[in-house]
Amino acid sequence: MSDNKFLPVTPEEVRALGRDVPDFVYVCGDAYVDHPSFGCAIISRVLEAAGFVVAILPQPDYKSCEAMKKFGRPRLGFLVSGGNIDSMVCHYTAAKKKRSSDYYSPGGKAGYRPDRAVIVYCNRIREAYGDVPIIIGGLEASLRRFAHYDYWDNKVRRSILVDSRADILSYGMGEKSIVRVAELLDKGVPVKKIRDVRGTSYLCKRGEKLHYPCEGGEVEGEPAGYDYDELKTDKKKYAKAFALQYKNNDAISGKAVVEYYGDRMLVQNPPQPPLERDELDRVYALPYVRNWHPMYDSEGGIPAIAEVKFSITHNRGCFGGCNFCALAFHQGRSVRSRSIESVVREAEIIAKMPDFKGYIHDVGGPTANFRKPACENQLKNGVCRNRQCLVPTPCKNLVADHSEYIELLRAVEAVPGVKKVFIRSGIRFDYMMADKSDAFFRKLVRDHVSGQLKVAPEHCSSHVLSCMGKPDIAVYDKFREKYFRLCDEAGLNQFLVPYLMSSHPGSRLEDAVELALYTKEIGLNPEQVQDYYPTPGTASTVMFYTGIDPMTGKEIYCPTDYREKQMQRALLQYRRPENRNMVREALRKCGREDLVGFGKDCLVKPDGRGPAPEKKEKKDKPGDKNKRSAQREQKNGGRNNDPRRKNDNKRSRGKNTPKGNAKSSKKR
H, E, C per residue of 241-294: HHHHHHHCCCCCCCCEEEEEECCEEEEECCCCCCCCHHHHHHHHCCCCCCEECH
Look at residue 615 in the predicted model and tell me its pLDDT: 55
623: helix, strand or coil: coil
Cβ–Cβ < 8 Å for 191, 185: yes
Nearest to 31 by CA among 57, 64, 10, 52: 57
- Report which residue type is found at 12: E
Distance CA 218, CA 223 (A): 4
- Report which residue type is found at 384: C
Look at residue 635 in the predicted model and tell me its pLDDT: 35
Nearest to 428 by CA among 413, 440, 412: 440
- Report which residue type is found at 431: Y
Rg (CA), the chain: 26
> Does the CA dihedral 552-553-555-558 come out positive or negative?
positive
- Report which residue type is found at 222: E
The domains found in the chain, sorted by start residue, are: 1-197 (3.40.50.280), 452-652 (3.30.750.200)
The whole-number mean pLDDT for each consecutive block of 10 residues of the chain, a chain of 668 residues, reads 83 96 98 97 98 98 96 98 96 94 96 97 97 97 97 97 98 96 98 97 95 89 93 97 96 96 97 97 97 97 95 96 91 95 98 96 96 94 92 95 98 98 94 97 96 93 96 96 96 93 96 96 89 96 97 95 95 94 95 92 80 54 42 37 39 34 36
Separation in Å, CA 610 to CA 580, 583, 603: 7, 11, 9
Look at residue 648 in the predicted model and tell me its pLDDT: 43
Look at residue 613 in the predicted model and tell me its pLDDT: 64
Cβ–Cβ < 8 Å for 537, 144: yes
Nearest to 668 by CA among 539, 546, 441, 499: 499
Q: Does residue 392 have a cis bond before it (omega within 30 degrees)?
A: yes
155: helix, strand or coil: strand
Q: HSE of 173 in the Cβ direction (CA atoms, 13 Å)? A: 27
Q: HSE of 53 in the Cβ direction (CA atoms, 13 Å)? A: 18
Look at residue 528 in the predicted model and tell me its pLDDT: 82
Name beta bridge partners: 291.
Answer: 34
Separation in Å, CA 91 to CA 114, 155, 400: 9, 18, 39
Name beta bridge partners: 452.
Answer: 495
Distance CA 127, CA 124 (A): 5
Q: HSE of 276 in the Cβ direction (CA atoms, 13 Å)? A: 2
475: helix, strand or coil: helix
Look at residue 628 in the predicted model and tell me its pLDDT: 40
Cβ–Cβ < 8 Å for 183, 189: no
Nearest to 176 by CA among 208, 204, 137: 137
Phi, psi (rounded to 5 degrees) for 428: -95, 105
